[in-house]
Homo-oligomer: A and B are copies of this chain.
């Protein structure tokens, strides 16, 4: 009786189901080999440690764990995070942190507090779909900057800022994934980080540093966090346990200067009041007991072996003319095919062979990257991955001229 579509908000009209989330449904069919989602390996989860701590939390502090918590987050968790980020060179206290219901909420809160319809965001080309979608529903327009081998180029960034200034616009923020960028796999070197921050400081523009994979480094030297390199409070950093602990806890955090943090707290109050104190306390003790450090080593070893395996399979099964990235960490590779092959066509061809990935163009705010696709290597075991890559190689070959 009610014409529902006509009464939705402008925000709702901009929403559509996420391609990645729909792909995740495929991963629930047991006969599909999925490289689509960003799923961590179930073998990486610390089952025994969680059971041990969960029991202790209920026994020792159950009344607080099962009650409403503060919007800012549990002290034990924020304090443990402070220790970690101080080691990273960040000048932070508990009051620079708000715990979120994982990174997707952090991204949503950023869209909510910064974006009005028509506001500009500068991002990498490609960039993380879930981030772009969160900004898009609030009405963001994107300026994508194609990376060189070091990531976003500061000269191009400045040029884009000046172009926007000519039409009377200033971007609300610059969205960057500096470590093992999803999906391009690039890690920005320190010098480049400093140059990007210098441009942002010069024009007074916030940088959103999305850092979900930083802990998962296989090789090479860690580069300094943007938050640690900035001395003017213009960097807002997002962290999460989804890749380094478990996504089922839905725990992330935002680090920011206290003015902006206060607004994030207000925004979170109306978004979901607070994040589960029970899960925050478990995670806090997990860090405090040193389990996080111990387990992250195991995850790094497992994922490095899986990355090496999948690249070995690419070499073995992919036809000539197909290339791929070689990230120093993280969970993803980006594969590039000859320009005339559309990853949408490959997607449906591969689905017939019971293999799934994510089409690369979903990560390109300018609709480019149609001959690319993203492969997750953390979820699938090595033998299954080999079979999947073999089928994919056959599918690509069948589409080559």
Q: Which A positions have Cβ atoms within 8 angstroms of B?
A: 1-5, 7-12, 15-18, 21, 24-25, 28, 37, 39-40, 42, 45, 47, 50-51, 54-55, 58-59, 62-63, 65-71, 101-102, 104-105, 107-108, 111-116, 119, 130, 133-134, 137-138, 172, 201, 204-206, 232-234, 242, 246-250, 257, 259-260, 263, 265-267, 269-279
6 additional contacts (CB under 8 A) given A12-B112, A54-B58? A12-B263, A12-B267, A15-B269, A18-B270, A101-B101, A107-B270
Q: How far is the CA of A66 from the CA of B232 in the complex (A)?
A: 38
Task: Kindly provide the distance from the CB of A332 to the nearest chain B CB, expressed in whole angstroms.
Answer: 15
Cβ contact within 8 Å between B12 and A248: no
| CA distance in complex: A7, B263 (Å) | 12
Least CB distance, A99 to chain B, in whole angstroms: 12
Beyond A45-B62, A272-B104, is A9–B138 a contact (Cβ under 8 Å)?
Answer: yes
Cβ contact of A55, chosen from B11, B55, B70, B267, cutoff 8 A: B55
Smallest CB-CB separation from A234: which chain B residue? B2
Name which of A50, A134, A204, A259 has the most chain B CB atoms within 10 A of its CB: A50
A113 contact from B11, B71, B265, Cβ within 8 A: B11
Complex-state Cα separation, A273 to B22, whole angstroms: 12
Residues of chain B contacted by A65 (CB below 8 angstroms): 248
> In the complex, what's the smallest C-beta–C-beta distance from A55 to chain B, in angstroms?
5
Complex interface: chain B residues within 8 A of A55 (CB): 51, 54-55
Chain B residues with CB under 8 Å of A266's CB are: 12, 15-17
- In the assembled complex, the CB of A27 is this many whole angstroms from the nearest CB of chain B, namely 9
